[in-house]
Structure 1
Amino acid sequence: MAAVLSAPTRQQTDQPDDAPIVPRRRPGRVVASVVALLFLAMVLNSVLRNRAFEWDVVAQYFTTTAIVQGLLLTLWLTAAVMVLGFVLGTVLAVFRLSDNPVLRSLSWGFVWIFRSTPLLVQLLFWFNIGALYPTLGLGIPFGPEFLTVKTVNLLGPTLTAVIGLTLHEAAYAAEVVRGGILSVDQGQLEAAQSLGLGRSRVLRRIVVPQAMRSIVPTAGNMLIGTLKGTSIVSVLAVQDLLYSAQLVYNQTYQVIPLLLVATVWYIAVTSVLSVGQYYLERYYARGATRGALPPTPLQRARQLLARAGVAR
Protein backbone atom coordinates (compact mmCIF):
# COMPACT_ATOMS: atom_id res chain seq x y z
CA MET A 1 0.00 0.00 0.00
CA ALA A 2 1.23 3.44 -0.83
CA ALA A 3 1.81 5.82 2.01
CA VAL A 4 -0.22 9.00 2.00
CA LEU A 5 1.55 12.18 3.15
CA SER A 6 -0.43 15.12 4.42
CA ALA A 7 0.65 18.64 5.31
CA PRO A 8 0.95 19.26 9.05
CA THR A 9 -2.04 21.00 10.55
CA ARG A 10 -1.82 24.17 12.65
CA GLN A 11 -2.39 22.07 15.83
CA GLN A 12 0.55 19.83 14.91
CA THR A 13 2.93 22.74 14.39
CA ASP A 14 1.94 24.25 17.74
CA GLN A 15 2.11 27.80 16.33
CA PRO A 16 -0.46 30.33 17.54
CA ASP A 17 -2.60 32.19 15.04
CA ASP A 18 -1.21 35.56 16.13
CA ALA A 19 2.48 34.70 15.80
CA PRO A 20 4.43 37.94 15.12
CA ILE A 21 6.23 38.35 11.81
CA VAL A 22 9.81 39.37 12.51
CA PRO A 23 11.70 40.99 9.61
CA ARG A 24 15.04 39.53 8.69
CA ARG A 25 17.88 41.31 10.41
CA ARG A 26 20.62 42.67 8.19
CA PRO A 27 23.49 43.85 10.42
CA GLY A 28 25.87 44.24 7.48
CA ARG A 29 23.55 46.72 5.80
CA VAL A 30 23.27 48.76 9.00
CA VAL A 31 27.04 48.84 9.48
CA ALA A 32 27.61 49.85 5.85
CA SER A 33 25.04 52.66 6.14
CA VAL A 34 26.65 54.00 9.33
CA VAL A 35 30.12 53.95 7.77
CA ALA A 36 28.86 55.69 4.62
CA LEU A 37 27.12 58.40 6.65
CA LEU A 38 30.23 58.98 8.76
CA PHE A 39 32.34 59.29 5.62
CA LEU A 40 29.83 61.75 4.13
CA ALA A 41 29.87 63.81 7.33
CA MET A 42 33.68 63.95 7.22
CA VAL A 43 33.66 65.11 3.59
CA LEU A 44 31.04 67.80 4.24
CA ASN A 45 32.91 68.99 7.31
CA SER A 46 36.17 69.28 5.36
CA VAL A 47 34.47 71.19 2.54
CA LEU A 48 32.41 73.59 4.64
CA ARG A 49 35.02 74.38 7.29
CA ASN A 50 38.06 74.58 5.02
CA ARG A 51 38.87 78.29 4.64
CA ALA A 52 40.82 77.64 1.44
CA PHE A 53 37.52 77.21 -0.42
CA GLU A 54 36.66 80.87 0.36
CA TRP A 55 32.89 80.46 0.20
CA ASP A 56 32.40 84.18 0.80
CA VAL A 57 34.27 84.89 -2.45
CA VAL A 58 32.15 82.26 -4.21
CA ALA A 59 28.98 84.05 -3.07
CA GLN A 60 30.46 87.39 -4.18
CA TYR A 61 31.11 86.31 -7.78
CA PHE A 62 28.24 83.82 -8.16
CA THR A 63 25.87 86.26 -9.88
CA THR A 64 28.25 88.80 -11.35
CA THR A 65 27.61 90.06 -14.88
CA ALA A 66 30.53 88.19 -16.45
CA ILE A 67 29.55 84.86 -14.89
CA VAL A 68 25.86 85.22 -15.79
CA GLN A 69 26.70 86.15 -19.39
CA GLY A 70 28.98 83.13 -19.65
CA LEU A 71 26.22 80.93 -18.23
CA LEU A 72 23.71 82.24 -20.77
CA LEU A 73 26.13 81.54 -23.62
CA THR A 74 26.68 78.02 -22.28
CA LEU A 75 22.93 77.40 -22.15
CA TRP A 76 22.49 78.81 -25.64
CA LEU A 77 25.27 76.61 -27.01
CA THR A 78 23.79 73.55 -25.32
CA ALA A 79 20.30 74.17 -26.70
CA ALA A 80 21.50 75.01 -30.22
CA VAL A 81 23.83 72.01 -30.43
CA MET A 82 21.21 69.58 -29.12
CA VAL A 83 18.51 70.78 -31.51
CA LEU A 84 20.75 70.93 -34.57
CA GLY A 85 22.55 67.72 -33.63
CA PHE A 86 19.36 65.70 -33.25
CA VAL A 87 17.83 67.12 -36.43
CA LEU A 88 20.91 66.13 -38.40
CA GLY A 89 21.20 62.87 -36.44
CA THR A 90 17.60 61.94 -37.28
CA VAL A 91 18.29 62.47 -40.97
CA LEU A 92 21.42 60.33 -40.70
CA ALA A 93 19.49 57.61 -38.85
CA VAL A 94 16.86 57.53 -41.60
CA PHE A 95 19.66 57.23 -44.16
CA ARG A 96 21.20 54.34 -42.18
CA LEU A 97 17.86 52.51 -42.26
CA SER A 98 17.24 53.29 -45.92
CA ASP A 99 17.34 50.70 -48.68
CA ASN A 100 19.49 53.08 -50.74
CA PRO A 101 23.08 51.78 -50.49
CA VAL A 102 24.57 55.20 -51.30
CA LEU A 103 22.71 57.02 -48.52
CA ARG A 104 23.36 54.17 -46.11
CA SER A 105 27.09 54.21 -46.86
CA LEU A 106 27.40 58.00 -46.61
CA SER A 107 25.60 58.03 -43.27
CA TRP A 108 27.79 55.23 -41.93
CA GLY A 109 30.92 57.09 -43.07
CA PHE A 110 29.83 60.30 -41.34
CA VAL A 111 29.16 58.51 -38.07
CA TRP A 112 32.42 56.59 -38.33
CA ILE A 113 34.57 59.68 -38.90
CA PHE A 114 33.05 61.98 -36.26
CA ARG A 115 32.84 59.28 -33.61
CA SER A 116 36.45 58.27 -34.21
CA THR A 117 37.90 61.79 -33.84
CA PRO A 118 38.30 63.52 -30.45
CA LEU A 119 36.09 66.56 -30.00
CA LEU A 120 39.02 68.85 -29.23
CA VAL A 121 40.71 67.84 -32.48
CA GLN A 122 37.52 68.58 -34.40
CA LEU A 123 37.17 72.02 -32.83
CA LEU A 124 40.78 72.93 -33.56
CA PHE A 125 40.39 71.68 -37.12
CA TRP A 126 37.31 73.83 -37.76
CA PHE A 127 38.99 76.79 -36.07
CA ASN A 128 41.87 76.53 -38.56
CA ILE A 129 39.72 75.69 -41.59
CA GLY A 130 40.87 78.94 -43.19
CA ALA A 131 44.25 77.35 -43.87
CA LEU A 132 42.55 74.85 -46.21
CA TYR A 133 39.81 77.08 -47.63
CA PRO A 134 40.75 80.75 -47.41
CA THR A 135 37.56 81.68 -49.27
CA LEU A 136 34.15 80.09 -49.77
CA GLY A 137 32.30 80.75 -53.02
CA LEU A 138 28.84 80.18 -54.40
CA GLY A 139 28.50 79.61 -58.12
CA ILE A 140 28.47 77.08 -60.92
CA PRO A 141 30.76 74.05 -60.48
CA PHE A 142 33.88 74.47 -62.65
CA GLY A 143 32.45 77.83 -63.67
CA PRO A 144 32.18 81.41 -62.44
CA GLU A 145 31.44 82.23 -58.77
CA PHE A 146 28.68 84.68 -57.92
CA LEU A 147 29.51 85.17 -54.23
CA THR A 148 32.85 84.88 -52.43
CA VAL A 149 33.40 85.23 -48.67
CA LYS A 150 36.63 85.01 -46.70
CA THR A 151 36.56 82.15 -44.23
CA VAL A 152 38.17 84.28 -41.53
CA ASN A 153 35.30 86.76 -41.69
CA LEU A 154 32.66 84.04 -41.84
CA LEU A 155 33.69 81.55 -39.16
CA GLY A 156 34.22 83.23 -35.81
CA PRO A 157 34.97 81.36 -32.56
CA THR A 158 31.31 80.99 -31.56
CA LEU A 159 30.13 79.74 -34.97
CA THR A 160 33.12 77.40 -35.11
CA ALA A 161 32.12 75.97 -31.74
CA VAL A 162 28.52 75.47 -32.90
CA ILE A 163 29.63 73.67 -36.09
CA GLY A 164 32.13 71.43 -34.34
CA LEU A 165 29.84 70.50 -31.45
CA THR A 166 26.84 69.94 -33.75
CA LEU A 167 28.66 67.57 -36.11
CA HIS A 168 30.07 65.65 -33.17
CA GLU A 169 26.64 65.48 -31.51
CA ALA A 170 24.91 64.42 -34.73
CA ALA A 171 27.12 61.33 -35.06
CA TYR A 172 26.02 60.06 -31.64
CA ALA A 173 22.40 61.22 -32.04
CA ALA A 174 22.14 59.22 -35.26
CA GLU A 175 22.93 56.00 -33.42
CA VAL A 176 20.57 56.87 -30.58
CA VAL A 177 17.67 57.54 -32.94
CA ARG A 178 18.46 54.47 -35.04
CA GLY A 179 18.52 52.28 -31.93
CA GLY A 180 15.19 53.71 -30.77
CA ILE A 181 13.54 53.00 -34.12
CA LEU A 182 14.91 49.47 -34.22
CA SER A 183 13.57 48.82 -30.71
CA VAL A 184 9.98 48.98 -32.01
CA ASP A 185 8.55 45.52 -32.60
CA GLN A 186 8.35 44.80 -36.31
CA GLY A 187 5.11 42.91 -35.80
CA GLN A 188 3.33 46.10 -34.79
CA LEU A 189 4.40 47.79 -37.99
CA GLU A 190 3.14 44.86 -40.04
CA ALA A 191 -0.17 44.93 -38.15
CA ALA A 192 -0.53 48.65 -38.83
CA GLN A 193 0.14 48.14 -42.53
CA SER A 194 -2.46 45.36 -42.65
CA LEU A 195 -5.01 47.80 -41.22
CA GLY A 196 -4.25 50.24 -44.02
CA LEU A 197 -2.69 52.96 -41.87
CA GLY A 198 -0.56 55.51 -43.68
CA ARG A 199 3.16 55.88 -43.09
CA SER A 200 2.85 59.26 -41.37
CA ARG A 201 0.21 57.94 -38.99
CA VAL A 202 2.21 54.81 -38.24
CA LEU A 203 5.25 56.95 -37.53
CA ARG A 204 3.32 59.37 -35.34
CA ARG A 205 1.15 56.91 -33.44
CA ILE A 206 3.24 53.75 -33.23
CA VAL A 207 6.92 54.27 -33.97
CA VAL A 208 7.69 57.57 -32.23
CA PRO A 209 5.94 56.91 -28.86
CA GLN A 210 7.65 53.55 -28.46
CA ALA A 211 11.01 54.67 -29.81
CA MET A 212 11.07 57.59 -27.39
CA ARG A 213 11.21 55.16 -24.47
CA SER A 214 14.66 54.14 -25.67
CA ILE A 215 15.71 57.54 -26.99
CA VAL A 216 14.84 59.77 -24.02
CA PRO A 217 17.20 58.25 -21.39
CA THR A 218 20.19 58.32 -23.72
CA ALA A 219 19.25 61.73 -25.11
CA GLY A 220 19.00 63.08 -21.57
CA ASN A 221 22.50 61.83 -20.80
CA MET A 222 23.72 63.37 -24.05
CA LEU A 223 22.12 66.70 -23.10
CA ILE A 224 23.91 66.74 -19.76
CA GLY A 225 27.13 65.67 -21.44
CA THR A 226 26.77 68.45 -24.00
CA LEU A 227 26.22 71.01 -21.24
CA LYS A 228 29.47 70.00 -19.59
CA GLY A 229 31.21 69.46 -22.92
CA THR A 230 30.67 73.07 -23.95
CA SER A 231 33.43 73.98 -21.49
CA ILE A 232 35.93 72.69 -24.05
CA VAL A 233 35.16 75.66 -26.31
CA SER A 234 37.17 77.79 -23.88
CA VAL A 235 40.24 76.74 -25.90
CA LEU A 236 38.77 78.80 -28.76
CA ALA A 237 38.35 81.86 -26.51
CA VAL A 238 34.57 81.52 -26.57
CA GLN A 239 33.33 83.26 -23.43
CA ASP A 240 31.26 80.46 -21.97
CA LEU A 241 30.86 79.85 -18.23
CA LEU A 242 34.30 78.33 -17.70
CA TYR A 243 36.12 80.90 -19.84
CA SER A 244 34.36 83.73 -18.01
CA ALA A 245 35.50 82.28 -14.69
CA GLN A 246 39.04 82.00 -16.06
CA LEU A 247 39.02 85.65 -17.12
CA VAL A 248 38.05 86.69 -13.60
CA TYR A 249 40.60 84.60 -11.72
CA ASN A 250 43.35 85.67 -14.14
CA GLN A 251 42.76 89.18 -12.77
CA THR A 252 42.07 88.38 -9.11
CA TYR A 253 44.23 85.22 -8.73
CA GLN A 254 41.39 83.56 -6.81
CA VAL A 255 41.45 80.35 -8.78
CA ILE A 256 39.66 77.95 -6.43
CA PRO A 257 36.66 80.18 -5.62
CA LEU A 258 36.01 80.97 -9.30
CA LEU A 259 36.28 77.31 -10.27
CA LEU A 260 33.77 76.58 -7.51
CA VAL A 261 31.44 79.22 -8.99
CA ALA A 262 31.48 77.42 -12.33
CA THR A 263 31.12 74.03 -10.62
CA VAL A 264 28.07 75.07 -8.61
CA TRP A 265 26.39 76.53 -11.71
CA TYR A 266 27.05 73.32 -13.68
CA ILE A 267 25.60 71.24 -10.84
CA ALA A 268 22.52 73.46 -10.57
CA VAL A 269 21.72 73.36 -14.30
CA THR A 270 22.41 69.62 -14.49
CA SER A 271 20.03 69.02 -11.58
CA VAL A 272 17.25 70.92 -13.35
CA LEU A 273 17.84 68.96 -16.56
CA SER A 274 17.83 65.68 -14.62
CA VAL A 275 14.42 66.52 -13.15
CA GLY A 276 13.06 67.27 -16.62
CA GLN A 277 14.53 64.01 -17.94
CA TYR A 278 12.85 62.07 -15.10
CA TYR A 279 9.38 63.40 -15.87
CA LEU A 280 9.86 63.02 -19.62
CA GLU A 281 10.85 59.38 -19.18
CA ARG A 282 7.81 58.93 -16.93
CA TYR A 283 5.56 60.44 -19.59
CA TYR A 284 6.69 58.02 -22.30
CA ALA A 285 6.65 55.06 -19.89
CA ARG A 286 2.86 55.16 -19.68
CA GLY A 287 1.40 51.84 -20.76
CA ALA A 288 4.83 50.18 -20.92
CA THR A 289 4.46 48.52 -17.50
CA ARG A 290 1.65 46.58 -15.94
CA GLY A 291 -0.21 48.55 -13.31
CA ALA A 292 0.32 52.14 -12.24
CA LEU A 293 3.60 53.97 -12.41
CA PRO A 294 5.57 54.33 -9.16
CA PRO A 295 4.94 57.59 -7.28
CA THR A 296 7.11 60.59 -7.97
CA PRO A 297 9.34 62.05 -5.21
CA LEU A 298 6.78 64.83 -4.70
CA GLN A 299 3.97 62.30 -4.37
CA ARG A 300 6.03 60.29 -1.89
CA ALA A 301 6.65 63.42 0.17
CA ARG A 302 2.92 64.16 0.23
CA GLN A 303 2.20 60.57 1.34
CA LEU A 304 4.71 60.87 4.17
CA LEU A 305 3.19 64.16 5.29
CA ALA A 306 -0.28 62.63 5.15
CA ARG A 307 0.84 59.64 7.23
CA ALA A 308 2.50 61.95 9.74
CA GLY A 309 -0.75 63.92 10.04
CA VAL A 310 -2.78 60.76 10.57
CA ALA A 311 -0.33 59.50 13.18
CA ARG A 312 -0.81 62.66 15.19
Structure 2
Amino acid sequence: MRKEFLKLENKLVLELEIEPLSPLIIKLGDGSEENSKNEKSESVISFVTSDSPRGNLVEYDKNKKSKDDRKGEIFIPGSTLKGLFREKFNKIYDIKKDDESDFKAENKNHKEVDNLFGWTEGDKAQKGRIFIEDAYLENQDLRENFYTKDINESLEVIMYRDITPIDGFTGKATVPLNYECTMEPFVTELIVNNLSLEELKNIFFVLRDSHLGEIRLGNSKTRGFGQVKFNIQNMVIENYRDKTKFVVNLKNYFEIDSLNSIKLGNEFLREDLILKKEFKEINVKNPNEFIKALFREVE
Protein backbone atom coordinates (compact mmCIF):
# COMPACT_ATOMS: atom_id res chain seq x y z
CA MET A 1 0.00 0.00 0.00
CA ARG A 2 1.36 3.41 -0.93
CA LYS A 3 0.01 6.66 0.41
CA GLU A 4 0.60 9.77 -1.71
CA PHE A 5 -0.40 13.41 -1.61
CA LEU A 6 -3.42 13.94 -3.87
CA LYS A 7 -3.71 17.71 -4.07
CA LEU A 8 -0.90 19.98 -5.25
CA GLU A 9 -1.28 23.32 -3.51
CA ASN A 10 2.17 24.78 -4.11
CA LYS A 11 5.61 23.75 -5.30
CA LEU A 12 9.06 25.09 -4.43
CA VAL A 13 11.65 24.96 -7.21
CA LEU A 14 15.06 25.99 -5.85
CA GLU A 15 18.09 26.13 -8.15
CA LEU A 16 21.29 25.87 -6.12
CA GLU A 17 24.92 26.37 -6.96
CA ILE A 18 27.23 24.05 -5.02
CA GLU A 19 30.42 26.05 -4.51
CA PRO A 20 33.38 24.02 -3.23
CA LEU A 21 35.31 25.69 -0.42
CA SER A 22 37.74 22.76 -0.30
CA PRO A 23 38.39 20.09 -2.97
CA LEU A 24 35.66 17.56 -3.70
CA ILE A 25 36.97 14.02 -4.11
CA ILE A 26 36.11 12.18 -7.32
CA LYS A 27 35.31 8.48 -7.04
CA LEU A 28 34.40 5.97 -9.70
CA GLY A 29 30.94 5.57 -8.23
CA ASP A 30 30.41 1.88 -8.97
CA GLY A 31 31.28 0.80 -5.42
CA SER A 32 34.49 -0.93 -6.52
CA GLU A 33 36.87 1.43 -4.77
CA GLU A 34 37.58 0.64 -1.14
CA ASN A 35 38.93 2.68 1.72
CA SER A 36 41.80 1.81 4.07
CA LYS A 37 39.50 -0.42 6.13
CA ASN A 38 38.55 -2.49 3.05
CA GLU A 39 35.05 -1.00 3.13
CA LYS A 40 33.20 0.14 0.05
CA SER A 41 33.69 3.88 -0.29
CA GLU A 42 30.83 6.32 -0.43
CA SER A 43 30.37 7.92 -3.86
CA VAL A 44 30.72 11.67 -3.92
CA ILE A 45 31.50 12.73 -7.46
CA SER A 46 31.12 9.98 -10.01
CA PHE A 47 31.68 9.26 -13.67
CA VAL A 48 28.58 8.43 -15.68
CA THR A 49 28.76 6.83 -19.11
CA SER A 50 28.08 8.97 -22.14
CA ASP A 51 25.64 6.56 -23.80
CA SER A 52 22.65 7.83 -21.80
CA PRO A 53 21.74 10.90 -19.69
CA ARG A 54 22.41 8.96 -16.46
CA GLY A 55 23.61 5.64 -17.77
CA ASN A 56 25.29 2.76 -16.03
CA LEU A 57 28.48 3.61 -14.25
CA VAL A 58 31.42 2.49 -16.34
CA GLU A 59 33.88 -0.06 -14.98
CA TYR A 60 37.40 1.32 -14.75
CA ASP A 61 40.62 -0.62 -14.35
CA LYS A 62 42.51 1.68 -11.98
CA ASN A 63 45.65 -0.43 -12.53
CA LYS A 64 45.96 0.95 -16.06
CA LYS A 65 48.51 3.72 -15.66
CA SER A 66 49.03 4.60 -19.31
CA LYS A 67 45.49 5.37 -20.39
CA ASP A 68 42.32 6.54 -18.70
CA ASP A 69 39.36 4.63 -20.18
CA ARG A 70 36.60 6.29 -18.21
CA LYS A 71 33.77 7.85 -20.21
CA GLY A 72 31.23 10.53 -19.49
CA GLU A 73 31.18 13.46 -17.10
CA ILE A 74 31.57 13.94 -13.36
CA PHE A 75 28.47 14.66 -11.27
CA ILE A 76 27.20 14.60 -7.69
CA PRO A 77 24.36 12.07 -7.25
CA GLY A 78 21.07 13.55 -6.12
CA SER A 79 20.81 10.73 -3.57
CA THR A 80 23.98 12.03 -1.90
CA LEU A 81 22.49 15.53 -1.66
CA LYS A 82 19.11 14.28 -0.45
CA GLY A 83 20.86 12.21 2.23
CA LEU A 84 22.75 15.29 3.35
CA PHE A 85 19.53 17.33 3.64
CA ARG A 86 17.78 14.52 5.53
CA GLU A 87 20.71 14.26 7.93
CA LYS A 88 20.52 18.00 8.60
CA PHE A 89 16.73 17.82 9.12
CA ASN A 90 17.27 14.98 11.61
CA LYS A 91 19.65 17.23 13.55
CA ILE A 92 17.16 20.10 13.48
CA TYR A 93 14.49 17.82 14.97
CA ASP A 94 16.99 16.11 17.30
CA ILE A 95 16.42 12.67 15.78
CA LYS A 96 19.20 10.28 16.72
CA LYS A 97 20.52 7.82 14.16
CA ASP A 98 19.46 4.84 16.25
CA ASP A 99 15.91 6.17 16.30
CA GLU A 100 15.48 6.89 12.57
CA SER A 101 13.52 3.69 11.91
CA ASP A 102 11.27 4.08 14.95
CA PHE A 103 8.26 5.31 13.01
CA LYS A 104 5.88 3.32 15.23
CA ALA A 105 6.62 5.67 18.09
CA GLU A 106 4.39 8.25 16.37
CA ASN A 107 6.86 10.91 17.44
CA LYS A 108 5.94 14.32 16.04
CA ASN A 109 9.52 15.05 15.00
CA HIS A 110 9.72 11.75 13.14
CA LYS A 111 6.50 12.61 11.32
CA GLU A 112 7.80 16.01 10.23
CA VAL A 113 10.89 14.48 8.60
CA ASP A 114 9.25 11.29 7.31
CA ASN A 115 6.33 13.15 5.74
CA LEU A 116 8.78 15.26 3.75
CA PHE A 117 11.39 12.65 2.80
CA GLY A 118 9.06 9.63 2.69
CA TRP A 119 9.07 6.40 4.68
CA THR A 120 8.57 2.67 4.37
CA GLU A 121 7.44 0.23 7.05
CA GLY A 122 6.69 -3.32 6.04
CA ASP A 123 4.21 -3.24 3.16
CA LYS A 124 3.27 0.37 3.87
CA ALA A 125 4.99 3.38 2.37
CA GLN A 126 4.59 7.07 1.74
CA LYS A 127 6.27 8.85 -1.12
CA GLY A 128 8.43 11.81 -0.21
CA ARG A 129 7.62 15.35 -1.28
CA ILE A 130 11.22 16.48 -1.73
CA PHE A 131 13.28 15.74 -4.84
CA ILE A 132 16.89 16.72 -5.49
CA GLU A 133 18.38 16.37 -8.97
CA ASP A 134 21.87 15.12 -9.75
CA ALA A 135 24.30 18.05 -9.71
CA TYR A 136 26.36 18.70 -12.85
CA LEU A 137 29.17 21.12 -13.61
CA GLU A 138 27.93 24.69 -13.81
CA ASN A 139 30.29 25.48 -16.70
CA GLN A 140 28.60 24.02 -19.78
CA ASP A 141 31.80 24.15 -21.86
CA LEU A 142 33.57 21.95 -19.31
CA ARG A 143 30.65 19.52 -19.39
CA GLU A 144 30.79 19.36 -23.16
CA ASN A 145 34.52 18.63 -23.10
CA PHE A 146 33.87 15.28 -21.44
CA TYR A 147 31.91 14.20 -24.52
CA THR A 148 33.80 15.94 -27.33
CA LYS A 149 37.39 15.37 -26.21
CA ASP A 150 39.47 12.40 -25.16
CA ILE A 151 39.17 11.91 -21.41
CA ASN A 152 42.85 12.74 -20.96
CA GLU A 153 42.32 16.08 -22.73
CA SER A 154 39.20 17.04 -20.75
CA LEU A 155 40.56 16.64 -17.24
CA GLU A 156 41.39 20.29 -16.69
CA VAL A 157 38.64 20.30 -14.05
CA ILE A 158 40.45 17.60 -12.07
CA MET A 159 43.27 18.22 -9.60
CA TYR A 160 45.45 15.74 -7.76
CA ARG A 161 46.24 15.77 -4.06
CA ASP A 162 48.66 13.55 -2.14
CA ILE A 163 47.88 12.81 1.50
CA THR A 164 50.29 10.95 3.78
CA PRO A 165 48.29 9.18 6.51
CA ILE A 166 49.74 8.45 9.94
CA ASP A 167 49.46 4.90 11.22
CA GLY A 168 47.45 5.08 14.43
CA PHE A 169 49.38 2.21 16.00
CA THR A 170 52.99 3.02 15.11
CA GLY A 171 52.64 6.78 14.70
CA LYS A 172 54.64 6.57 11.48
CA ALA A 173 53.75 7.87 8.04
CA THR A 174 52.31 5.29 5.66
CA VAL A 175 52.21 5.08 1.87
CA PRO A 176 50.86 8.37 0.45
CA LEU A 177 47.33 8.37 -0.91
CA ASN A 178 46.65 10.06 -4.24
CA TYR A 179 43.25 11.70 -4.67
CA GLU A 180 41.46 13.04 -7.72
CA CYS A 181 39.40 16.09 -6.82
CA THR A 182 37.88 19.27 -8.24
CA MET A 183 37.12 22.83 -7.18
CA GLU A 184 34.60 23.47 -9.96
CA PRO A 185 31.08 24.56 -8.93
CA PHE A 186 28.08 22.32 -9.62
CA VAL A 187 24.38 23.12 -9.99
CA THR A 188 21.31 21.19 -8.86
CA GLU A 189 17.57 21.68 -8.43
CA LEU A 190 15.62 21.04 -5.23
CA ILE A 191 11.84 20.58 -5.52
CA VAL A 192 9.29 20.33 -2.70
CA ASN A 193 5.59 19.68 -3.32
CA ASN A 194 3.12 21.21 -0.85
CA LEU A 195 5.77 23.20 0.96
CA SER A 196 5.07 24.40 4.49
CA LEU A 197 6.51 27.45 6.24
CA GLU A 198 8.47 25.27 8.68
CA GLU A 199 9.99 23.24 5.83
CA LEU A 200 11.06 26.39 4.02
CA LYS A 201 12.70 27.67 7.19
CA ASN A 202 14.55 24.39 7.67
CA ILE A 203 15.83 24.46 4.09
CA PHE A 204 17.24 27.93 4.77
CA PHE A 205 18.82 26.61 7.98
CA VAL A 206 20.74 24.13 5.80
CA LEU A 207 21.77 26.89 3.39
CA ARG A 208 22.88 29.01 6.35
CA ASP A 209 24.93 26.15 7.78
CA SER A 210 26.75 25.83 4.47
CA HIS A 211 27.75 29.51 4.70
CA LEU A 212 28.98 28.86 8.23
CA GLY A 213 31.31 26.17 6.89
CA GLU A 214 29.34 23.30 8.45
CA ILE A 215 28.46 21.32 5.32
CA ARG A 216 30.79 18.70 3.89
CA LEU A 217 30.16 16.15 1.15
CA GLY A 218 31.49 12.65 0.92
CA ASN A 219 34.87 11.04 1.48
CA SER A 220 37.83 12.22 3.57
CA LYS A 221 35.94 15.04 5.28
CA THR A 222 38.27 14.78 8.26
CA ARG A 223 41.23 15.39 5.93
CA GLY A 224 39.82 18.74 4.86
CA PHE A 225 37.95 17.67 1.73
CA GLY A 226 34.34 18.23 0.75
CA GLN A 227 33.42 21.59 2.29
CA VAL A 228 30.75 23.30 0.18
CA LYS A 229 28.54 26.36 0.19
CA PHE A 230 25.02 26.49 -1.29
CA ASN A 231 24.16 29.65 -3.26
CA ILE A 232 20.69 30.48 -4.55
CA GLN A 233 20.61 30.90 -8.32
CA ASN A 234 16.85 31.01 -8.62
CA MET A 235 13.86 30.36 -6.37
CA VAL A 236 10.30 29.91 -7.60
CA ILE A 237 7.14 29.12 -5.66
CA GLU A 238 4.41 27.79 -7.94
CA ASN A 239 1.20 28.72 -6.18
CA TYR A 240 -1.82 26.62 -7.26
CA ARG A 241 -4.56 28.83 -5.85
CA ASP A 242 -3.13 28.08 -2.42
CA LYS A 243 -4.21 30.62 0.18
CA THR A 244 -1.57 29.52 2.69
CA LYS A 245 -0.81 32.60 4.73
CA PHE A 246 2.95 32.27 4.62
CA VAL A 247 2.92 32.41 0.81
CA VAL A 248 0.64 35.46 0.85
CA ASN A 249 2.71 37.25 3.50
CA LEU A 250 5.97 36.73 1.59
CA LYS A 251 4.68 37.81 -1.82
CA ASN A 252 6.24 41.26 -1.51
CA TYR A 253 9.66 39.64 -1.88
CA PHE A 254 8.70 37.91 -5.13
CA GLU A 255 7.77 39.03 -8.61
CA ILE A 256 5.13 37.32 -10.74
CA ASP A 257 6.42 35.33 -13.71
CA SER A 258 3.58 36.26 -16.06
CA LEU A 259 5.09 34.23 -18.91
CA ASN A 260 4.83 30.88 -17.08
CA SER A 261 1.87 31.59 -14.81
CA ILE A 262 -1.51 30.17 -15.85
CA LYS A 263 -4.54 32.42 -15.64
CA LEU A 264 -8.27 31.85 -16.22
CA GLY A 265 -10.00 35.19 -16.53
CA ASN A 266 -8.83 37.26 -13.58
CA GLU A 267 -7.95 34.23 -11.47
CA PHE A 268 -4.56 32.48 -11.37
CA LEU A 269 -4.75 28.71 -11.76
CA ARG A 270 -1.00 28.72 -11.16
CA GLU A 271 0.87 31.81 -10.05
CA ASP A 272 4.64 31.53 -10.44
CA LEU A 273 6.46 33.69 -7.89
CA ILE A 274 10.17 34.36 -8.45
CA LEU A 275 12.33 35.54 -5.56
CA LYS A 276 13.66 38.99 -6.40
CA LYS A 277 17.34 39.23 -7.24
CA GLU A 278 18.22 41.39 -4.23
CA PHE A 279 16.98 38.69 -1.82
CA LYS A 280 18.94 35.72 -3.24
CA GLU A 281 22.17 36.45 -1.39
CA ILE A 282 22.70 34.62 1.90
CA ASN A 283 24.57 36.81 4.37
CA VAL A 284 24.68 35.22 7.81
CA LYS A 285 25.90 38.36 9.60
CA ASN A 286 23.54 40.72 7.80
CA PRO A 287 20.42 38.82 6.62
CA ASN A 288 18.28 40.48 3.96
CA GLU A 289 14.66 41.53 4.49
CA PHE A 290 13.26 38.32 2.98
CA ILE A 291 15.19 36.20 5.49
CA LYS A 292 14.01 38.42 8.34
CA ALA A 293 10.40 38.14 7.19
CA LEU A 294 10.68 34.37 6.71
CA PHE A 295 11.71 33.83 10.31
CA ARG A 296 9.14 36.18 11.82
CA GLU A 297 5.93 34.64 13.08
CA VAL A 298 3.37 34.55 10.27
CA GLU A 299 -0.14 34.67 11.64
Scaled by the length of structure 1, the TM-score of the pair is: 0.22
By relative contact order (CA 8 Å, sep 6+), the higher-ranking structure is: 2
Q: Which has the larger radius of gyration?
A: 1
Scaled by the length of structure 2, the TM-score of the pair is: 0.23
Greater fraction helix: 1
Greater fraction strand: 2
